[in-house]
Amino acid sequence: MRQESIAPHALPFPPLNKGWGWLAWFSTTDHKKIGILYMVTSLFFFGVGGIEALLIRIQLAAPNAKVLTPQEYDAIFTMHGTTMIFLVVMPLFIGIANYLVPLMIGARDVAFPRLNALGFWVFLLGGIVIYLALFTGSLADAGWFSYAPLSEAAYSSRPGVDYWIVGLIETGVGTIGAAVNLLATIVRYRAPGMTWRRMPLFVWMMMITSLIILYALTPLNAGLIMLLGDRILHLHFFRANVSGGSAILWQHIFWFFGHPEVYIMALPAFGMMSEVVPVFSRKPIFGYTFVAGSGIAIGLLSFAVWVHHMFAVGLSTPMNAAFSAASMLIAVPTGVKIFNWSTTMFRGRLRMDTPLLFAAAFIIQFVIGGITGVMFAAVPIDWQLTDSYFVVAHFHYVLFGGSMFALWAGVYYWYPKITGRLMDERLGRWHFWLAVIGFNMTFFVQHILGLIGMPRRVYTYPNLPGYGTMNMISTIGAFILAIAVLLFLWNLVVSFRRGKVAGDNPWDAWTLEWATTSPPPEHNFEKLPPVHSARPLFDLAHPEMADNPKYRTEAKA
Amino acid sequence: MHSLYSTVSSVLTPASPYAAEIGRLFWITLWISLVILLAVSAFVIFNLIRYRDRGQEGLPPQTHGNMAVEITWTAIPLAILVVLFVLTLQTMAAVSPSAHPKADPVNVDVIAHQWWWEFHYPGSKVVTANELHIPVGKSIHIQLTSADVIHDFWVPELGRKMDAVPGHPNTMVIQADRPGVYLGACAEYCGAGHAWMRIRVVAQTEADYQDWLASQAQPHPEPKSALQANGKALFVGLTCSSCHTVTGSGAPASKDVGPDLTHLADRQTLAAGVVPNTPDELRKWLADPNSIKPGSNMPNLHLSSQQLDALVAYLEAQP
């Protein structure tokens, strides 16, 4: 039967690395190995960014503290943001997608294996270059947003910012390569029968994410080259006091990238949620079309909201109003997803394994980040709360309480596919509860700090009533969260050696990656089941109630 | 030091009609948000408890979706957001400088610097720094610019915040309904001194404000002792006067590199809010500015003990 064969054009790429031992990792073009390289690299940088976060919290634990100088603090918060965004969350999602997308669509490899490898190594080079600035004695310290003219040579004369620019251009090039490859793979190499409406939702979200990357990272790289030109060639794109230069132009370019970037870090998380919640509820996703369609809506709207980062700049009222409307509008498709996930659980049979715990916490924490997001779309509220600790709380609820929790759900879910072993459930529960307590303790009080006037990016603060107490609570929470992260890393290591053997499909899941061995062979599949719906393995196991009524057959007696 | 920072300036305790308008919008949004948050959380937790797998046979019903439900939960949030957007537009109009054309505003030019605030009162040639005196009950129209990088003027109880962008003058309006000191700070990251670029707004009755303005228009008092005279000579003779202005010192006015020091003695804090303004703290500041405010552009002039005494006596002289 045609449906039982591999997609005809997805032939295995000739392996380049037979018999090279561990050196094979450097020459590999296998999407699974490259995926693992991305994941391991991001976990390393997660450690770096986490230590930076703890240093920030130590310095802020008490008023008028002098643990760090302002120059050190500024470099650390700049690198914390840069690291977590460009070297952790983005590459972690890209790495997991690299590993899983070909498996989920039933392909033997990606469309451009060599481009894929190049993308990873250029990305890694960029990450190294950003930190190489350490050897010049100055890390970048103009913030991850690097606002001109503070980032110009006149105000940041040391070379840290130059390394930051060059490094980011490189990670940008690598990320664009990864996006081109994912996009071509999804469009071209889906298994026979896998129409758009039968594609796993994680694949849908990675396709939209890849498109966003193409349109968002390219202008960022253009802007970075302009900024570098200002700094080393004395051009004046963003130098305000030189004829024609505009500080605000940089903000437009940066946030034209910067807001879609939020969705680059959120849509893959939405994709993971849309895989985990149904499997652990033992039900199909509620409203598949709406979950996929709302992703498209978010992808399009993400390019029409960037000015909400600039409401305090003093742009015209019509401009602010238009971007306010667009920013509020993006809450609608996001809400649709939230409602569909929670309704998927309704009348299900919920398996309370670690992935579902993280998924459930994601929903509640992401809603908190979402509603404070709507507050920032309301221009006058933004005029009060932007650049205060309220924003810090808001986007950590989105990116940590949201994206990171979804990532954890995804890691516990797919780890057995990648390693062949399940992660330890007991450690997983400790990890989960400490993460929930630590995360909310760290960031919830920051809403209040923002409301009572604490600006962000300050290396210290005066002894105002409540400031010391709330910052101390936040710091203690950060250390609880750090313990949770260490337990997670420990779980990754011990389960790799001693975890319960998983078998092909430990969760009774329904998408194609579970139709092969764990871990999959180099060519991914021996053969594929037919794809008549979004849940091919469900159809196989329950032919009498197959999702696609056309293919329902009586159960074998 | 603690007495300088005894009360917080909160978005939720507005002291002006502008901050009150924004506060009202915040509360409305917050209540709507809390209802949504509670509804979603309750539903998720209900599902987790009620539909937990208890080892039943077979599969739960395999429902794939429901068009009517999808349309409902698209339409209801959309309707809420339309209402919120209308309220947003109304509040934007209410807090804009053109909202009260009939009021008789006080104009102040604010110039942000790394890392201090310069305040000009265009009607009276008064120039001061870091502490903004305003009369109560009047709209204060601020013309906001920056001398270097982007800063942001934010006093939560008195109104919105706004960026001070070089090459892009902005206007904003604040007001204080009651006399008092209102704290604020620079809210846009601007480099090493960002944390210590604080704002104090001193709101006074109209009469007190007029007295203050008149006193500020006076030159610095003439030296009344040999020590003060020595301080004056040092101020003019050392490099102080190339960055700072003291009207009446005889040195030409500087180019606003550092704060105008004519009425330094009148201010509550030094170095934009780091320490209280006492002769002792001023002496420490002059002896080693970077130990008080790291990253500050004020150089260490390696002044001798006698020079420090003389400069402190001169700068802190009361009329």
Nearest chain B residue (CA) to A366:
B37
What is the least distance, in Å, from the CA of B231 to any CA of chain A?
31
Q: List C-alpha distances in Å: A173 to A44, A219, A507, B202.
A: 21, 12, 37, 52
Residue A557 domain-assigned (yes or no) = no
Residues 91-110 of A with CB under 8 A from B: none
We report the CATH number of the domain holding residue A154 as 1.20.210.10
The whole-number pLDDT of residue B101 equals 61
Return the pLDDT at B265. Answer: 94
* Residue A189: both structure tokens together: 């190499």
Residue A352 lies in a domain: yes
Best residue of A72, A76, A150, A353 to probe chain B, by most B CBs closer than 10 Å: A150
Kindly state whether residue A404 falls inside one of the protein's structural domains: yes
Contact A384 B60 (CB under 8 A): no
> Quick check: is A251 in a domain?
yes
Distance from CA of B229 to the nearest CA of A (A): 36
Mark yes or no for CB contact A363/B44 under 8 Å: yes
Domain housing A71: 2-551
Domains along the sequence of chain B with CATH: 1-49+67-217 (2.60.40.420), 226-315 (2.60.40.420)
- Eight-state DSSP code of residue B291: H
Residue A556 included in any domain: no
Window A:220-249, CB contacts with B under 8 Å: 240-241, 245-248
The verdict on A469 touching B (C-beta cutoff 8 Å) is: no
Handedness of CA A219, A221, A227, A229 (dihedral sign): negative
pLDDT digits over A509-544, tens only? 999 999 999 999 989 998 899 999 999 999 999 999
Does residue A86 belong to any structural domain of this protein? yes
Test A149 with B65 for CB contact under 8 angstroms.
Answer: no
Q: Which helix (H) or strand (E) holds B119?
A: strand B116-121
Check if the beta carbon of residue B194 is closer than 8 Å to that of residue B225.
no
The set of residues, in sequence order, having a beta carbon less than 8 Å from that of A441 and lying 6+ positions away, is A473, A474, A476, A477, A480, A481
Is residue A425 one of the residues assigned to a domain?
Answer: yes
Between positions 46 and 75 of A, the ones with CB within 8 A of B are 69-71, 74
> Looking at this predicted complex, what is its ipTM?
0.96
Q: How confident is the model at residue A241 (pLDDT cuts 50, 70, 90)?
A: confident
| Amino acid in the structure at residue A303 | F
A3: pLDDT confidence band, cut at 50, 70 and 90? very low
Q: Got the DSSP string for B59-70?
A: --------HHHH
From CA B79, how far away is CA B87, in angstroms rounded?
A: 13
**Contact between A375 and B26 using a beta-carbon 8 Å cutoff:** yes
Q: Which of A69, A314, A324 lies closest to B88 in CB terms?
A: A324
The reply to whether residue B161 touches residue A312, judged by beta carbons under 8 angstroms, is yes
Q: Which residue from B8, B22, B150 is facing A465, i.e. has the nearest CB?
A: B8
- The answer to whether residue A247 sits within a structural domain is yes
Residue of A nearest to B50 (CA): A347
How many residues in chain A?
Answer: 557
Would you call A352 an interface residue with chain B, using a CB distance cutoff of 8 Å?
Answer: yes
Nearest CB partner across the interface for A453, out of B52, B56, B185: B185
- A 10 A CB-CB count for B192 gives 22
Q: What is the pLDDT of residues A354-404, one digit of tens each?
A: 999 999 999 999 999 999 999 999 999 999 999 999 999 999 999 999 999
Token readout for A351 is 């398996």
* Neighbouring C-alpha atoms within 13 Å toward the C-beta of A507: 34
What are residue B74's DSSP bridge partners?
A: none
Residue B98: which pLDDT band, with cuts at 50, 70 and 90? confident
- Could you tell me the pLDDT band of residue A338, with boundaries at 50, 70 and 90? very high
- Which of B4, B8, B37, B91 to mutate to probe the A interface, most A CBs <10 Å? B8
* B74–A336 CB contact, under 8 Å: yes
| Residue contact A332–B37, C-beta within 8 A | no
- For helices B67-94 and A331-345, the axis angle rounded to 10 degrees is 140
Count of structural domains, chain A: 1
Chain segment B234-252, per-residue pLDDT in tens: 999 988 999 999 999 988 8
Q: Amino acid identity, residue A99?
A: Y
Q: In the prediction, which pLDDT does B102 show? A: 61
